[in-house]
Amino acid sequence: MAASEQHYTPARPCFDKPVKLLIVVAPYYKDIADNLVAGASAETEAAGGSWELVEVPGALEVPTAIGISDRGSNFDGYVALGCVIRGETTHYETVCNDSSRAIQLLGLQGLCIGNGILTVENRKQAEVRADPEGQNKGGGAAAAALHLIALTRKWGARTKGIGFKPAGESYRIAGASDGSKTT
């Protein structure tokens, strides 16, 4: 059914200076992962960008690898790729929910991430979604990262660091009427 749906796709963003993406893939289902990477790399190159690829064992490790990379690299954005196919246990829900939640949290902290981790009921659904000549979800994830990078460049520089940010010198402690700080 989804193959017959028409979806709106925004125009590919243009960049004054090239973008560099890290594609993080969990190749548990290697043929599906290869198609996702093919779509993501082609979309990145079509936008004039460059990319590097890193493989991790599974979908749960994808956001961790992105977080590690962000703390020690110079990528403009990230593409998260992999495939989770429903099995007989609740492990499917755990992997789908936790990998997605971790990617979303990294995004809310300022990282530009396109999430292309497929969460499907069966292999056939994954094959259709991963096919670069079909639904091309790998290309869609790269496009999402590129659009977020364009917004970041439009509205200001991204800040590094994950977690709490220290308060600056301009804060005031409640009860300190003279503006002094106490610890």
Give catalytic residues, as residue numbers. 91
C-beta of residue 54 within 8 angstroms of C-beta of residue 24? yes
Please name the residues in contact with 116: beta carbons below 8 A apart, sequence gap of 6 or more.
36, 40, 79, 80, 81, 82, 137, 138, 140, 141, 142
DSSP letters, 106-149, are HHHTT--EEEEEEEESSHHHHHHHH-TTTT-HHHHHHHHHHHHH
Nearest to 143 by CA among 17, 40, 48: 40
3-class secondary structure, 81: strand
Which residue is listed with tokens 């992105």?
A: 66
